Every structure is written in C-alpha cells, then in structure tokens.
Structure 1
Amino acid sequence: MSESDENEIEQIIRNISPEEALELIKDMQDDPDFIILDVRTPKEFESGHIEGAINIDFRDENFASTMDERDKEKKYMICCGSGVRSSKALTVMQDCGYIEVYNILGGIRMWKVSGFPLTEE
C-alpha cells in the first residue's frame, strides 16, 4: 500500500429518502458539525425549507468556489426542489473532497409529499 493510499479518507456520498433524512436530522440535531444545505434559489428557500437549513444557491456562478471554501470535514445533508440541483451539487461536493454528504432524493417536493414540516423562518 502506498503512502497516498494510507492517507486517503473514504468519502460517504449517499442518496437518501426523505424518511432517512428525517431520521438523520433527529440523530444529528445536537451535532454542530451537521449542516442541512438547501441549494435552491433564495426565493424558493424563503417559501419554505427544512428547519435549520442554510441556503447556498446552486445556480449562483460562485457555487463551486463557495463550496470549495467550506469545511469539508463536517457532515452535510443537501436538498433542492426536486433532486436535480442537489444531485449536481453532490457531485461538486464530492469533487471538492467533502467527507460525508447525503442527498435527499426527490428534494423538498418529496419531503412535503412525505408529510414532513417546512419552515419559513
């Protein structure tokens, strides 16, 4: 095994259902290193988002550089409207070297269909 293999950290990059996401949120609610990242536009975000989420717009021209500057050691759960942008964001984050990222399949749309709460605060 080469030295570079020994230093390589295994990434956890997964698509999860809204139900799995809700469980993850419950399990991680007291962990300051767990971040819910909503990659929709600010207007979409303001219309309702998962409580505690932060908003970084995937469509912003600086998205990749913004993500490259964030703490890659933290655990992230990402979502968008339907899962398309968050899937693309997942790839960006994986390429940037994020250690642990979970993507909610179906995005906020499936979150709502599952009957889970959103906030506008």
Structure 2
Amino acid sequence: MELLKKIFGKQPETDYMTLVNEGASILDVRTKAEYAEGHVPDSLNIPLRELNKAQMQKHLPVDKPVIICCQSGMRAGQAKRLLENEGYNNVFNVGNWASLMKKI
C-alpha cells in the first residue's frame, strides 16, 4: 500500500499548525507586490529571484522546518529545491499562500 501511495502521490497530510508551533519558518517567495496584496501573518517574504544562500543563512535556520508558499506552488517548488540543495532537509511546499492560511 505504501508503494502505491508513493507512486500516485498520496502522502500523509502534513500538520502545518504543529510545524509552526514547533518553530517552522514560513517563506513566501512571491514578489513584494504580490505579498503586499495579502500574506500569511509572520511569514517571511523573499521573492524567488532574490532567494540565495546568503538570504537562506540569514533568515532560515537549517535545523528548523521551512514551509514555502507562493501563488500556485510552482515558485515554491523551485524554492524547495534551492533550499534542499543547500542542506535544508525539512522543507514543505504548501502551494498557494491562501490555502496555508486555512491550515494554520
């Protein structure tokens, strides 16, 4: 059954509220203009184009979970790969920022 879940993308539901309560960072990689139109409270806005190793080290502890959001999930997916390439192991692409608001 676990093999089928992996094949078809069925993963256990992530409890984002628990992650936040345990110190997870919320990273919004939309543009500053998009972020200004609405965002998750206490989220960090670093547009994908500006996300680099220095920004990661400055704002995101490598030993804490990072929840990434954007408008649709595409930029968050790219940001997730960037963070994982820099050694972040506990990274979650939640997709749309508004959907994250409903989960926390």
Residue 24 (structure 1) aligned with residue 10 (structure 2): no
Aligned residue pairs, count: 91
- Tell me if the contact between 2:19 and 2:65 (Cα under 8 Å) persists in the aligned partners: no
Structure ranking higher in helix proportion: 2
Which of 45, 52, 57 does residue 64 from structure 1 map onto? Answer: 52
Q: TM-score, normalised by structure 2?
A: 0.71
Within-5 A mapping of 1:84-103: 84-103=74-93
Matched residues in 1 for 2:78 and 2:26: separation? Answer: 16
Q: TM-score, normalised by structure 1?
A: 0.62
Matched residues in 2 for 1:49 and 1:102: separation? Answer: 17
Q: Describe the SS at the equivalent of 2:48.
A: coil
Matched residues in 1 for 2:20 and 2:82: separation? Answer: 25
Report the RMSD for the aligned CA atoms in angstroms. 2.7
Q: Describe the SS at the equivalent of 1:116.
A: helix
Bigger relative contact order, structure 1 or 2 (CA pairs below 8 A, ≥6 apart): 1
Larger Rg: 1
| Structure 2 residues not aligned, in runs of 5+ | 1-8
User: Deviating runs (4+, > 6 A) in structure 1?
Assistant: none
State the identity %: 29
